Structure 1
């Protein structure tokens, strides 16, 4: 469940200096450090903790608390259609269950951070409803599912304060994913867990805020400072084909509506993911996932070649 704002404030720190924040008044937080004083606005109870001089984010947009990307809301028949076209992922469901079981097997509660939690992610509902989870969430826009605004390249939270970090459908939207993963590593406790889902073969989404893609092996190497618990394709070749057809017909007819209509008509293609062997899904995945544990020793470069899990042996 979402942690209360007072408890969250105790975990916050300056994204520039890393020192603790103090309230200057009801609308400003301040950090006093050897390199100077840093002030951050609190807008409608949301602390805005972003180093704008080191970010692609525009201060005026962020301080309006709105998303820089239009996010469509669905209701009625459109909600049903969206659920048919993009049903809950059985892979994510299983991974979330494993993550929760691992977190709570030896302790009664766990503190979890969701990076990019402005919208509740696919399969992430248990973290918001389980009373044993102390949940902290942030994004670059305000919503009921976040407690503050921040840039994931500079997470304004004290080091070694979380049992788990979740990064779902975020790393494709940051300029320097290695820095984001390093920040996740920093805020995790010793032996803390990370779970990430990232696209591989998907067309551009969220327009100018889409930058990266990863093969399954490349994704593993990105998390090389974590020991492997589980990894693979979060969505396989069938889902990838559905994405491709959506993009193809959208471009052919210059119409997003037609692309989505075709995607809805052919949504059954994604169920072939379950019939295709994992090794082939890995090579043609729509998206990949990684679940791992913080470790002191990074994997060696040579081992990533041996790690390959696809069908092209």
Structure 2
């Protein structure tokens, strides 16, 4: 039960800045737009629906038909028509794509001229959905992959303090008593320093130590 609680806490800390940045992007989408959501369901879709304006068409795709997308499609070999969407959302998907350059090319092709895309990827995150977990991207890797876009802003999500906290929490997932004991000792030993640095930990962001990245792209 303790480890399950730590997992939920870690996910909440990691997703809070992502959800805020996604909601900011979605709220700016004007009515009458056509939006493609690539492979993102669950909590991500909840954020999208809550922030979306009325009279916006959302089409969801996924490679897995069991997830019941509107269209079953592989973004690396897409059947979606070129320049058919005004906005694209691809949240926490690129790490599972085995041909990221092809996926980026197709995202670019699907967007209409002047269209915008929101792409998020984890950075410090444990192996998940094995064996379909292929990559962790740096800021520079993402800019390279999406180099065809006219605007490619890459922002770190979360602070370096939250990134350190996530590393500590996620180290408790391994189920090794020696690791658990070492982590607990480390927390107790560093607790006074963490409390002293708390104001700084809560505001400083750096691409060198963060939970993930968000790309704001424009064609």
TM-score interval w.r.t. the shorter chain?
0.7 to 0.9
Structure 2: which 5+ residue stretches go unaligned? 188-193
Q: Which residue of 2 aligns with 1:168?
A: 91
- Shift of the 228–275 alpha-carbon distance from structure 1 to 2, 3 Å rule, reads farther
CA distance in 2, matches of 1:237, 1:282: 9
Structure 1: which 5+ residue stretches go unaligned? 1-77, 295-313
- Pairing partner for 1:291 from 208, 211, 216: 216
What pairs up with 1:265-284 in 2 under 5 angstroms?
A: 275-278=202-205, 281-284=206-209
Q: Which residue of 1 aligns with 2:131?
A: 208
Contact 1:114 1:137 (C-alpha < 8 Å) held by counterparts = yes
Contact 1:194 1:292 (C-alpha < 8 Å) held by counterparts = yes
Equivalent residues, number: 206
Q: Which residue of 2 aligns with 1:238?
A: 161
Q: RMSD of aligned C-alpha atoms? A: 3.7
Q: Which residue of 2 aligns with 1:302?
A: none
For the pair 1:193 / 2:116, whether they are aligned, the reply is yes
TM-score of the superposition, structure 1-length normalised?
0.55
Q: Determine which structure has more spread, i.e. the larger CA radius of gyration.
A: 1
- Shift of the 147–91 alpha-carbon distance from structure 1 to 2, 3 Å rule, reads closer
- Pairing partner for 2:72 from 144, 149, 160: 149
Structure with greater contact order relative to length (CA < 8 Å, sep ≥ 6): 2
Residues 236-266 of structure 1, C-alpha deviation per residue, up to 9 Å, x if partnerless? Answer: 3234324422443333617xxx7xxx8xx9x
Q: Which residue of 2 aligns with 1:5?
A: none
Residues 217-239 of structure 1, C-alpha deviation per residue, up to 9 Å, x if partnerless? Answer: 22122211113364311233234
CA distance in 2, matches of 1:129, 1:145: 21
- Shift of the 94–202 alpha-carbon distance from structure 1 to 2, 3 Å rule, reads closer
Contact 2:62 2:74 (C-alpha < 8 Å) held by counterparts = yes
Q: Which residue of 2 aligns with 1:111?
A: 34
CA distance in 2, matches of 1:79, 1:243: 14
